[in-house]
A and B are shown apart, each in its own frame.
Chain A
Amino acid sequence: MNELVAAVPWLGKRNPTAARWLIILVAIAAPFIAWQFGRSWVRILDFALLYMMLALGLNLVVGFAGLLDLGYIAFYAVGAYTFALLASPHFGIHLPFWLILPLGAAFAALAGIMLGFPVLRLRGDYLAIVTLGFGEIVRIFMLNLNYPVNITNGPQGINMIDPINLFGWDLSRNIRIGEDFTINSLFLYYYFFLIAVAGSILFIQRLQISRIGRAWAAMRDDELAAKAIGINTRNMKLLAFALGATFGGVAGALFGAFQGFVSPESFSLMESIAVLTMVVFGGMGNIAGAVVGAFVLALLPEVLRDVAVPLQQTLFGHVLLDPEVLRMLLLSLAMILMMLLRPAGMIPARARYCHDKHLSATLKQEAAK
């Protein structure tokens, strides 16, 4: 939150309290603003929140621990498929939401550890390729495990997944208040996801300034030195993979329930790369970076759809580049240009590894600058 506050232009440094309230206000008001542009924009905001959660989780692995994971979307898939299999007519199982969520998180964490073990000894770039392979393997299994026993229903995916149900309160139903006032279900999902993201941010923030966060930073900056000062790098790496995967799994479960439908198509390599670009674009190793990166890059394609298509219509008379192509183009350019021109991201990480109250007065002054 502090990083987010500091990232607010102009106000952030002058009046942090005001900036903090501004962020909270915007976060709460966002769906109402989006509603003015149309129903679909609220939906897009909901997805942006899920992407934020993914970016936060991947940032944990890539930014904090320095392990480049190109198969991150696999954990998202594990979470989504856990939810889909345990709460849909596919197997006829309908477990309650509060049971599946931890299960999805646990399965994803397990997958993270399974991926983590073999790649412990690998260095940066090898790790990237192996994790990419892992992501592809998961996708291939999702595509093909409909034969001879139909588990994943293959390329068709799984339909009619139960919506999120909080103790009997079905989030997919609009709430009617009085005669002509209803709260749309998209709003309910928005606030539920917002709480989830806020919780993740709090958790990750505490994590970053804990022993674990410091150990990760040490490991990221120099693995040999970290080992020499007594950090168990093996456990720390596994922990990073497992925790990162947990966030992916939770986001995946929410995604499955929210969309009501999962198929292998949603978990392609392109999605892994998109999440990675969000982290890179915002700034690696930085909570605010992940949040802002996810927000900007999740909204961008939708804005393009609304702006670029009519613009091309008027300029060239027909649509030259469809929005999906534009999205890929911009993502790839963002990745290249960020690395070349601003490798630390839009919001460069400020190293901060202990709680405010432990900072000495001079350090505080430094930080205030």
Chain B
Amino acid sequence: METLIQQFINGLVIGSVYALIALGYTMVYGILGLINFAHGDVLMVGALVALQTMLFLMGMAPGMSPLVMLAIALAVAMVICMLLGFTMERLAYRRLRNAPRLAPLITAIGVSFLLQTLAMIIWGRNYHTFPQLISTAPLQPIPGVFVTPVQIAIVVVSALLMIGLLLLVNRTRIGRAMRATAENHRVASLMGVDTNAVIAMTFVIGAALAAVAGVMFASNYGIAHYGMGFMPGLKAFTAAVLGGIGNLGGAMLGGVVLGLVESFGAGYIEHFTFGFLNSSYQDIFAFLILGLVLIFRPTGLLGERVSDRA
């Protein structure tokens, strides 16, 4: 029973990180129909920039309160990632908006590897220890079940950010412009929406969320390196598809569900396969889910019909 609850908590924590990343995928997909392959690497950049900022602050002002330090690092990471998202859209994707379908995807793959390489040049190939500014001393709410303050912070912050995003999209002027653009670019622009600005905005918001997710991801595992964005990026994409791509609520649900499946799967796979497969197969679950969802329910859990743009 304790194991079950423990796996549930672990799944929920990692799932909320996936959900945050998935939002970025799903927003861009909803508006452009583009899988922004490089989104996972924005997360990596966010984590590494935050790391660099923290190290800098620790050197400059050793007495600073950890929370303030974390907030500053987070802010810097978000700003850098927003700039990155904006630049990416401007330089790589905007010109390909009307190109054949494969062209932007191949470009996105190129951008992803470019970011990884640049990160490798700047930060090297090594794994960096990520400073734990929030305590990682485990609490025991139930005997035998461990929760760290970092994990609680991750769940709370992602929940707040998701609510904020939903409010932004559903209640504000810019949110309405985003929804209109997703519905139909040309009509939206005829109605006076500056679709270019809206698309850039989407990338920027997605990148900011990815930066936060990156810091969370790195805090949760305590490490950061140039290739750390790839797997969570891929899994978050799976989460977005699972929830119904283009659907914000779906991305959140998909992220949490995927986190739980992965956590339970990794915990119990050894038991169910009689020791033949073990938890090193954890990464397979995301791909299996992706395959199954795309075959049996391509619209995802909450999705509407996916527009058929071959």
A interface residues, Cβ below 8 angstroms from B: 62, 66, 68, 70, 118-119, 121-126, 128-130, 132-134, 136-137, 140, 143-144, 147-148, 222-224, 269-270, 273, 276-277, 280, 321, 325, 328-329, 331-336, 339-340, 343
Contacts and interface: CB of A to CB of B under 8 A. Distances in A.
> Interface residues of A: mostly helix, strand, loop or mixed?
helix
B15 to A, nearest CB: 19
Contact of A130 (B117, B118, B290, B308): B290
B95 A68 contact: no
B234 A129 contact: yes
Contacts of B35: 125, 128-129
Interface in B69-125: 92, 95-96, 99-107, 109-114, 116-118, 120-121
Given A119-B291, A123-B308, A130-B294, 10 more contacts: A118-B291, A123-B309, A123-B310, A133-B286, A136-B287, A224-B310, A269-B230, A325-B121, A329-B118, A343-B103
B276 A273 contact: no
A124 B108 CA distance: 14
Centre residue among A121, A270, A277, A332 by max chain B CB count within 10 A: A332
A121 B121 contact: no
A70 B121 CA distance: 25
Nearest to A66: B102
Query: Which 4 pairs between the two chains have the least Cβ-Cβ distance?
Result: A335-B110, A133-B287, A332-B113, A336-B110
Interface of B: 34-35, 92, 95-96, 99-107, 109-114, 116-118, 120-121, 230, 234, 237, 241, 275-278, 280-281, 283-284, 286-287, 290-291, 294-295, 298, 308-310
A1 B234 CA distance: 40
A124 B35 CA distance: 11
A129 B114 contact: no
B309 to A, nearest CB: 7
Contacts of B114: 329, 332-333, 336
Contact of B110 (A144, A269, A332): A332
Contact of A328 (B34, B120, B276, B281): B120
Contacts of B107: 335-336, 339-340
Contacts of A129: 35, 234, 237, 290
Contacts of A124: 101-102, 105, 310
